Amino acid sequence: MAIGRHLLADFYCCEADFLNDPARIEGDLTSASTTAGADLLRTCFYRFHPQGVSGMVLISESHLAVHTYPEHAYAALDFFTCGRVTDPRTICELLVASFRPKVVATECLVRGQHLAEDCHK
Amino acid sequence: MAIGRHLLADFYCCEADFLNDPARIEGDLTSASTTAGADLLRTCFYRFHPQGVSGMVLISESHLAVHTYPEHAYAALDFFTCGRVTDPRTICELLVASFRPKVVATECLVRGQHLAEDCHK
């Protein structure tokens, strides 16, 4: 038994203008969440000056997070979903279509995989 | 060259009452952030009914996130810090002292490690 899957995605060589647009990024993250079947709870975004955006989307199934570095054409994202309905790989694919990175590196970890552990031992 | 470190922590066998207390959890996460030298930007927490808390803390260095499952005495946390000042392991140690899990499993990944990639190739 496990709680969910946590996918970490590094998007390299994105278009710098997109990485500096908090409204578009927030819109695309919330849209990817709901398209993937997640239930949206809260969003929280911040624009750095002179550049960069950080943001988080809370969903009933856990969260999405993004941190962009336009100066490196790079964005660090992660998608954590509990349960079986929402697949973090679907969210990732949808956001690759938005961010259009030339290079993507992902790693997917299982969260809470030792839940059967007996706490009273 | 890399952007930062992302530490994923599974806390098993925590005290259930603590896992259901959003104010204490938010206080301990924000306190751990600043104690570890991070610059606090925004917080966003949500309490599920009948139980469970999800929350995110945006810091200039990236984020902290938490999702608790009192029914499993389990909490999934992650700490992403860019730069060298704030060490996600310090944040993790501080929160182990708050959540008091009997079992901890962590994994630390380097983010943005292919930044030198030439986007114009």
Edge-to-edge strands, sheet with B103-111: B40-47, B53-59, B62-69, B74-82, B4-12, B103-111
Residue A34 three-state SS? helix
One of B6, B14, B62, B92 is an active-site residue; which one?
B62
Q: Which residue in the set B13, B44, B109 is minimally distant from A44, CB to CB?
A: B44
pLDDT given at position A117: 65
Residue B1: its pLDDT value, please? 75
ipTM at complex level: 0.95
Read off the pLDDT of each residue in A82-108 and give the average, rounded to a whole number: 96
Q: Which of A111, A115, A118 to mutate to test the interface with B (most CBs of B within 10 A)?
A: A111
Does A62 touch chain B if contact means CB atoms closer than 8 Å? yes
From first to last of the 121 residues of chain B, give the pLDDT tens digit: 799 999 999 999 999 899 999 999 999 999 999 999 999 999 999 999 999 999 999 999 999 999 999 999 999 999 999 998 999 999 999 999 999 999 999 999 999 998 866 787 6
DSSP secondary structure string, B39-107?
-EEEEEEEE-SSS-EEEEEEETTEEEEEEEEGGGTEEEEEEEEESSSS-HHHHHHHHHHHH--SEEEEE
